[in-house]
Structure 1
Amino acid sequence: MTQQLTTPTSTPPGGPSNPWPGLAVCTVATAIAMGVHQLLPMASPLLLAIVLGVLVANLRPLGPRFAPGLTVASRPLLRIGVALLGLQLVFGDILGLGPGVIALIVAVVALGIAGTVWIGARLGLSPAQRLLIACGTSICGAAAVAAVDGVIDADDEDVATAIGTVVVFGTMLLGLIPLGVALLNLSPEQGGVWAGASIHEVAQTVAAGGLIGSGALAVAVVVKLGRVLMLAPVMTVISLRRRRGAAPGKRPPLVPLFIVGFLACVALRSAGVVGEPVLAVAGQVQVALLSAAMFALGTGVRVSALRAVGPRPFVLGAAGTVWITGLGLAGAVLVA
């Protein structure tokens, strides 16, 4: 049986309360992750940050004085980062896709989550882990995993595994879907819908849309952002389900506060009151906050615990990716 160690993000009772040492380490890790991303755009800064955290936890664990800052990064900063994701969305662009494509987006997210969760149950994975992977593959990759963690407070090992899984398989789709578009002789619009409905991360979708062609890029991005918008109703449903099973007095809020912030950011962007320079800065801040949160979560991961999980999360990630890709292709052929 694997011995479970105390995670660095757990502040011991009566322990230190100064967050700055932990936040300083998170800042350095975030700068490294984002710097490597600038040199290698294909490398997700969120994945790089969580890998750095895992390396630190297993090679040179951080002491208790870093715990308060790591807790701040992995909880409130994570939620702020997810809320800022809403600044990427404009309601009008998504409504302009038409009822057929909007219905496809809803179906892909709903059926994608349901199917992946069902497969995860057959594989014997924990409810938290299969929900993390299902939402990561069906909505928006690592950001969706972070959002689910913000609602259900999953184990750090489950979060790290889910992020690694969705980033790996989303990156594979980046090359496979443009190849599939060419082999199946799909139109640029169909290719854009397929990419936007299937690929896990927004950045991966942008890259794939560019590979398919200029006619596909705009369609792919808007369809993908439509899936990102589904983050709000999905997180609300998850929160409601948790409330139903929680004891009185310990129930989570009806709608998580960071989801309210997410919707407020969508509304601000849709109203056109946020200028492009602010959006550019906010986009970098959002990535930095989520990267800091991923590093903090990574510091709570033990390789021995990951080994104990085995290959089942990656099998689920592969199966969920195939399921989502099939749904996206069928929908693209039918509605585009």
Structure 2
Amino acid sequence: MGSPVDQHTTVPALPARVREATAPLVPGVAVAAVATALAMGVGRLLPTVSPLLIAIVLGAVAANTVHLPTTLRPGLTFSSKKLLRVGIALLGLQLMLSDIVGLGWGMIGVVVAIVVLGITGTMTVGRWLGLSWTQRLLIACGFSICGAAATAAVDGVVDAEEEEVLTAVALVVIFGTLMIPVVPLLARALGLDEHEAGMWAGGSIHEVAQVIAAGGAIGGGALAVAAVVKLARVVMLAPVMAVIGLQQRRRTDGAAEGTRPPLVPLFVVAFLACAAARSTGLVPDAVLTAAKTAQTALLTAAMFALGTGVHVATIRKVGPRPLALAALSTVWVAAIALTGVLLVN
């Protein structure tokens, strides 16, 4: 049995180690927290603009106008990876599987087709354009599933180059934002009713917030169905990440066991667990409200951290090929969604 002196000298060791490990993270996480508060405040004043998109812009502006000290980098990297994964997991609490089933099996099939054909087509065209596998995959999943969150989730599985991730996120912001006015205008020109137009918006636009903005522009009847269709696409994040994880394991088959990625990333398992918990109806409303706020804050912090890596010189260096792929992917996904909606209705 140890003496009292031994006990008193060993107990503080763990907190000291924790402090030593977390101290480098504090400056960057603190800056991300301030930016998150600012982005969410602006989001409250402008409900049609996502705090995530505001945060990306803030990060990009900061990166290109002021010198960010290197002491911020560990905390910003932590925010863009670890906090992002927690935010994606909590995103599952927004999903009621019964609402998605309520779309009908026809529309569920359309959602699966949007994601599968969207990714496949984008990957194929990207190969023709000579882009790397990771760059194609980041754009394909971001445009086919749920925007910047999907792009960052893919990075969590395949560990892409930083400039590839930043390029894909920037393209999601650009093209998703352009679709907010374009989809309602085209829906009216094509003679779609509000229900059909809402389904098309939910099936084709990249970010959840962008879908909400477009659905509101179409009309009250479109907003609810647009959100549900979009969340059905979000559900596809889990199986797609599992497939990518399996492919990545095969690509790294010769690597040491410790360096091989997991078959299903832990944050994807947590995402599914949160969705299952929400679908039971047992999670109190107060918990759901708090979780939604936390999820938005975590993803906003992650997007700001990603934005700080968006340098104009880097975007120029990647050339026009990712831009061309993003444009073609946007049109391709929108065409699949429109065809599916018209067939189902």
1:176 has 2:182 as partner: yes
Report what 1:119 is aligned to.
125
Q: 1:125 to 1:36 in 2, by over 3 A?
A: farther
Q: Which runs of 5+ in 2 are unaligned?
A: 1-19
Does 1:298 pair with 2:304? no
Q: Who is 2:271 aligned against? A: 262
- Higher mean C-alpha deviation, range 184-193 or range 325-334: 184-193
Quote the offset at 1:330 in angstroms: 0.5
* Residue identity matched to 2:160: A
Residues 270, 67 of structure 1: CA spacing in aligned structure 2 closer, same or farther, 3 A cutoff? same
What SS class does the counterpart of residue 24 from structure 2 fall into?
A: coil
Q: 2: distance between equivalents of 1:171 and 1:300?
A: 20
Match of 1:156 among 149, 155, 162: 162
Contact 1:174–1:207 (CA under 8 A) maintained in structure 2: yes
| Partner Cα separation in structure 2 for residue 277 and residue 73 of structure 1 | 26
User: Compared with structure 1, are the counterparts of its residues 67 and 172 closer, same or farther at alpha carbon in structure 2 (3 Å cutoff)?
Assistant: closer
Deviation at 1:159, TM superposition (A): 1.9
Letter of the 2:77 counterpart: T
CA distance, structure 2, for counterparts of residue 175 and residue 54 of structure 1? 24
- Could you say if the C-alpha distance between residues 208 and 71 of structure 1 is closer, same or farther in structure 2, counting changes exceeding 3 Å? closer
Give the Cα–Cα distance (whole angstroms) in 2 for the partners of residues 217 and 52 of structure 1: 28
Any conservation in 1 of the 2:49–2:209 contact (CA below 8 Å)? no
Aligned CA-pair RMSD: 2.0
Quote the residue 1:4 is aligned against. none
| Equivalence map 1:76-225=2 (5 Å) | 76-225=82-231
The answer to whether the Cα contact below 8 Å between 1:47 and 1:163 also exists between their aligned partners in 2 is: no
Aligned-pair CA distance for 1:55: 3.5
**Match 2:318 to one of 309, 315, 323:** 309
User: Partners of 1:209 and 1:45 in 2: how far apart?
Assistant: 18
Q: CA deviation at 1:15?
A: 10
TM normalised by structure 2 equals 0.87
Give the stretch that moved more between structures: 199-208 or 46-55. Answer: 46-55
Paired amino acid for 1:172: L
Structure 1 residue runs of 5 or longer lacking an equivalent are 1-13
| Separation of aligned partners in 1, 2:105 and 2:216 | 25
CA 1:216 to 1:65, structure 2 compared with 1: closer, same or farther past 3 Å? closer
Shift of 1:70: 1.9
The answer on 1:288 being equivalent to 2:294 is no
Please, what TM-score do these two structures have when normalized by structure 1?
0.90
CA distance in 1, matches of 2:211, 2:56: 22
Q: Residue in 2 aligned with 1:29?
A: 35
Instruction: Give the share of equivalent positions with the same residue, in percent.
Output: 59
Mark the CA change 1:253 to 1:184 in structure 2 (over 3 Å): closer, same or farther.
same
C-alpha distance in structure 2 between counterparts of 1:280 and 1:16, whole Å: 29
* 1:248 paired to 2:256: yes
Q: Which moved more, 1:19-28 or 1:62-71?
A: 62-71
Does structure 2 conserve the Cα–Cα contact (< 8 Å) formed by 1:132 and 1:149? yes
Amino acid across the alignment from 2:120: A
Q: Which structure is larger by alpha-carbon Rg, 1 or 2? A: 2
Task: Provide the residue aligned with 1:8 in structure 2.
Answer: none
